[in-house]
Amino acid sequence: MTGWVLAAWLMLGGSVLLLFIGMPVALTFIAVNIVGALIYMGGEPGLMQLARSSVSSVTAFSLTPIPLFVLMGEILFHTGLALKVIEGVERLIRRIPGRLAVVAVVAGTVFSAISGSTIATTAMLGSLMLPIMLSRGYHPTVAAGPIMAIGAVDMLIPPSALTVLLGSLSGISISKLLVGGVVPGVILSVAFVLWIIVQVSISPQLAPADKEETTYRGWARWSPFFGYVLPTLSIFGVVVGALAAGWATPTECAAVGAFATMVLALCYRVLTLDALNKALKGTAGISGMILFIILGATTFAQILSFSGASNGLVQLITGGGLSPSAIVIGMMLMLIFLGIFVDQVSMMMITLPIFMPIVQALNIDPVWFGVMFLICMQLGLLLPPHGLLLMTMRGVAPPSVTMGQIFVSVIPYVTMSLILLAAVFWIPDIATWLPKRIG
């Protein structure tokens, strides 16, 4: 067995094994990194280099948007503005099949435009809207599926902390990657709404007509939209607009977005010290976890490269006579397979050190590849049995909703995501048209 093959088995196989037995992601890669540094980087000098690389990896300026994007979502949830957005959306949507499920999708799309956390979106919509839908006779699969599906779309629509993380670890332009997810995210949201309407139109018993629906007319119907939904969406417009126009960097856009969210909460007089304290604590916890993971991921990629495993794997794959399209399909299938077993950050850390050199060697558009990578990670959130949003829904759903019903409820939405992935593969402009127009 050649040296690089042994290194690949040790580093990649060891990390996968530790993840499967339940070791936390950050500790898994730090443990593997220490062993790799001792073997392939000269013992104690290797450990010193490992420490220096770890410090430089988490002090990169490109990571600054992560806590700011997370803060936007935390303020939205802890101040109660999210509830006002739901009310504004609910008053506008009426007299359509599966109305409350459609409200969940539309409201979730609005949250995705200002929140950087898929789990937070799913947990909030699940705890608020799922009991209401069940009490009004909705079948559990119709009630739970849209909430989890739109929570996963949060990863595609900026601001998204995981998109920034992917851009940072892969070297893909963070600005273009953030903007590249907008069109696929909106396509999925529209597809989800259409599916709900078609499904309930064919089988009305799945979601009975809402007899308790209150009819609002005139200004009473539109006031929450103009008062809460539109101002919230305007923050998304500023962030994405500044990115697309090239007026600001991702960090500057994130800072403007976080400041605008706080100003909005102040204007509504809901930014209390208690809410701000909870938002800051939540941001610190999530950001600290992400930065700790970045520390392990960056040094992991460096040791793989130093040991020769990265170059060896790249030459093995690119020299196999396969076309670039076949190689990309293989990478996407590997990501979907990994999504069944491990979380999204682990997927990035295991695959990016191998995938990105291949992408560069084959001159593949990195933004196109990055958006497909995001779609695969979004799929992983919904894939049984360990999808993160499936577990989140199990945690907030009433006991009457079984795990089997939760699994069944996501099947149509996983199918639509797979169709979108195929569409982006065959029509790259879906992902690259908007980023190409960044100033």
Q: Which residues contact 89 (CB under 8 A, 6 or more apart)?
A: 103, 106, 107, 110, 225, 229
Q: Of all helices (H) and strands (E), which one includes residue 90?
A: helix 81-92
Percent of the chain with pLDDT over 70: 87
Q: Please compute the mean of the pLDDT values over residues 369-398 and round it to a whole number.
A: 83
Above 80 in pLDDT, residue 369?
yes
At 192, the amino acid letter reads: F
Sign of CA dihedral 237, 239, 240, 242: positive
**For the segment 110-145, what is each residue's pLDDT rounded down to a tens digit?**
877 776 667 767 777 787 788 888 888 889 889 889
Cβ 121 vs Cβ 189: under 8 Å? no
Could you read off the pLDDT of 77-93 as tens digits, one per residue?
788 887 787 777 777 77
Which DSSP category does 215 fall into?
P
**Contact in structure between 232 and 264 (CB atoms under 8 Å):** yes
DSSP for residue 24: -
Q: Which two tokens stand for residue 1?
A: 């067995």
Residue with tokens 């988490």: 58
- pTM for the model: 0.77
pLDDT of 211 reads: 64
Every domain of the chain and the residues it spans:
3-436
Please report the pLDDT score of residue 16 as a whole number: 72
Stretch 281-300: mean pLDDT, rounded?
Answer: 73
